[in-house]
Structure 1
Amino acid sequence: MEIEGPLARLPRPAVMVRGETVASYLWRLAERNGMRFEELARHIGAPRTIRPADPRTEEVRLGPLARQRLAEVSGRPLAQLAQALVSLEHSRITARARRQVQIEPWPENELSVQSCELCAAGRSERPVWRVRGEQWAVCVRHRRWTATAGGNVQIGLEQLPEVVDAHVRRARLERRTGPYARALMADAQQVAVYWWQCRQMAWRGVWRSRQEALGVDRSALWAVPLVVYPEAVAVAEAMAVRERQRAVGRSFAGGPAGWSTGRWTAWVGERLGMVEEMADGGHRALEAWLMAHRNTVPVAARQAQQEERAVPRSVPLPLLEPHRVIAPHGRLEEASCLPWRLGSPMTSTSFGQQGLAAP
């Protein structure tokens, strides 16, 4: 594609939305200026045969020249576009490629999620689709849960304020812990999934109440991450405390006598207000996690560094085994080291690596 000169800025810019997909932004920018999607795409370098992209299931990949032309017509600096459109630079198209605009389907585990409808109200006539880091998202401002479940799910959380509060705590955990927080949240969600599928912990109490508030039963698997979310965040916070100790080779709570695996799992049960349920079998999932995250620093080395403190909460944690690579997008469960999956039978094979048996 040859560049004849800078393109003129379109008269009506589209409001930038953090995390929006390129396909969604192109649709909004086109309609904002009375253009068809194909017309705008060809304007920035697409072939004549380009078709409209489906922002629910497809992404538009732009080469360097097309990205520059999009910056020109949108009236936005390229760096600002890249900051908002987080997938903009995730393209293998080179500057020498003839096709600078290509439409690609999202992998099934990375389908985009519709942004909160209330956030988009007054800012866009079309739905806003965002690159998802997970299968769902929480809008703290409007107290809404958005997800994909054979359609678009937008749920008000007025009856479930604890979900919004948990999301605020999770954001704080991510700021303090850094990228490793995604792995901890993934593991914590899998622990909660184990409890939910084995009917342990909160299944008769708060989880049943949340299902009733949502008007769903146990067959609605898409709702499970929402139902268990507050407890999963609490578990992730407890895991972060344990990992800060492990990062310096120390046992939980610095290694005083008595702080064994059993003491840590009991402490988690206390935090959740479910001490009896934890003792009756809920501890198994946490023990599977502890086995995968066991302290590999030799005892002699640990004794030699007894005075070393755990990593302060304000300092991001380094990536620890078994999480050396953490994908920033996709299903949250895929970032977990725990083998079981929501909807799959809970058998002893799920614990093969840890040597534990399902209840």
Structure 2
Amino acid sequence: MARALPVQVGLVAGESVASFIGCLAAANGLRAADILEYVGGARREIDPQKVEVRLGAVGLQELSVLSGRSPEQLQRALPTTRRQAAGAVRTVAWPVGGGVVQQCEMCCRGRRGGVPAWLVSLQGFDVCTRHARWLGHAGSRSQLSLAELPEVVRAQERRRRFEQRVGPYAQALLADAFQVAVYWWSCGQMAAAGRWARREERLGLTRRRLWAVPIVVYPELVTVAEAMAVRERQRCYGRAFDGQTTRWHTGRWTQWVGERLELSQELAAGGERALNLWLMAHRNSIPVVARLAGTAPPPGYRAQQMQALAPHRRPVEGRWEEVSCLPWRLGAPMTSVTWQGEGFPA
């Protein structure tokens, strides 16, 4: 019967399975292929920057034995083990520019011999709130200090609470909010009242860079996603943003978003267009008669996780620009974006 390997390595929250296997193997003078074969995969070397190892129930149990950790401990730390693969253990390629980011350099000091872990990140970036560092895919700028951008660190903390509160549907709302922010950034509308330029300056940028957009717009992105969730909770029960059943008052919602962003004038001057496009994609489909006959939302519904709503009926994991219902892409011209219909959602 197999036993735990003599040298154990600590678990790192968010680490990929391929990274954990590689660290465990190196600590015991083995190759990653040795452990991969033992847990049921093909005997091959793996690069955690390029591939992930998908484990089934048996593979997870075998890795549990070798690592001296319970399956539950592994699932809490290694996010891709929470959705177990069917059948044999297999390796899958990460998308180009996404999948994993290197662990914060300051976090890994004194741990695992200073060898960094690779953290699962479908968006291609993460934030270390402990050391205020941006983790990304920008070559020499793959890790940046956020000491002068504390609002970005706070946004990451808000995002984590938002994801826990909303549940899986949070990824669709974050994706849509990111696309709204991309629209604003690309068109030069709003420009976040100069705050985006100030963030770029604090990052040492002399001109706008695509790789820096997620950092620059991150606080506003999270705020917009939170506002979208408020409206979607009401839409779920056939109600408007202000609790009415006969009218949606979308203008009141966009006005409220502007107030939360402290960008009311910029929204009124044209920045609301991206929000209106989102509202049209998320229009109410419940007839007025059904709304009037419906029951009021149950007590405490704002604290419950949300169900997915059209057009995101089935939440899908992936890069935000691929998950979003809004069609434009960062780096592409916005002149081709057109209205998907006339007027506002009824």
Equivalent position of 2:235 in the other structure: 246
SS state of the match for residue 15, structure 1?
Answer: coil
For 1:67 and 1:307, locate their aligned partners in 2 and report how far apart those are by CA, in whole Å: 44
Please state how far the C-alpha of 1:347 moved relative to its aligned partner.
Answer: 2.1
Say which is worse superposed, 128-137 or 284-293, in terms of deviation: 128-137
Unaligned ranges ≥5, structure 2: none
Equivalent position of 1:3 in the other structure: none
Within the candidate set 322, 338, 341, 1:351 is matched to 338
Q: Any conservation in 2 of the 1:248–1:311 contact (CA below 8 Å)?
A: no
Q: Any conservation in 1 of the 2:246–2:288 contact (CA below 8 Å)?
A: no
SS state of the match for residue 228, structure 1?
Answer: helix
Normalised by the size of structure 1, how large is the TM-score?
0.86
Equivalent position of 1:326 in the other structure: 315
Equivalent position of 2:175 in the other structure: 186
Structure 2 vs 1, CA of residues 202 and 246 (structure 1 numbering), >3 Å: closer, same or farther?
same
Q: Any conservation in 1 of the 2:240–2:247 contact (CA below 8 Å)?
A: no
CA RMSD of aligned residues (A): 2.6
Within the candidate set 16, 20, 23, 2:15 is matched to 20
For 2:104 and 2:146, locate their aligned partners in 1 and report how far apart those are by CA, in whole Å: 12
Partner AA of 2:270 in structure 1? G
What's the % identity of the aligned pairs?
Answer: 50
For 1:218 and 1:296, locate their aligned partners in 2 and report how far apart those are by CA, in whole Å: 44
Equivalent position of 1:58 in the other structure: 51
Equivalent position of 1:290 in the other structure: 279
Say which is worse superposed, 15-24 or 84-93, in terms of deviation: 84-93
List per-residue Cα deviations over 1:2-42 (Å, max 9, x = no partner): xxxx2232111011122211211111111212223334445
Within the candidate set 68, 90, 105, 1:117 is matched to 105
Say which is worse superposed, 195-204 or 281-290, in terms of deviation: 195-204
Unaligned ranges ≥5, structure 1: 1-5, 95-99
* Number of residue pairs the alignment of both structures matches: 341
SS state of the match for residue 144, structure 2?
Answer: strand
For 2:299 and 2:325, locate their aligned partners in 1 and report how far apart those are by CA, in whole Å: 23
Partner AA of 1:278 in structure 2? L
> Is the counterpart of residue 33 in structure 1 residue 21 in structure 2?
no
Q: Any conservation in 2 of the 1:339–1:351 contact (CA below 8 Å)?
A: no
Equivalent position of 2:80 in the other structure: 87
Partner AA of 1:69 in structure 2? E
For 2:22 and 2:296, locate their aligned partners in 1 and report how far apart those are by CA, in whole Å: 58
Compare CA radii of gyration and give the structure with the larger one: 1
Partner AA of 1:72 in structure 2? V
Equivalent position of 1:200 in the other structure: 189
Equivalent position of 2:127 in the other structure: 138
Please state how far the C-alpha of 1:303 moved relative to its aligned partner.
Answer: 2.8
Please state how far the C-alpha of 1:180 moved relative to its aligned partner.
Answer: 1.3
Structure 2 vs 1, CA of residues 36 and 152 (structure 1 numbering), >3 Å: closer, same or farther?
farther
Structure 2 vs 1, CA of residues 268 and 67 (structure 1 numbering), >3 Å: closer, same or farther?
closer
Equivalent position of 2:66 in the other structure: 73
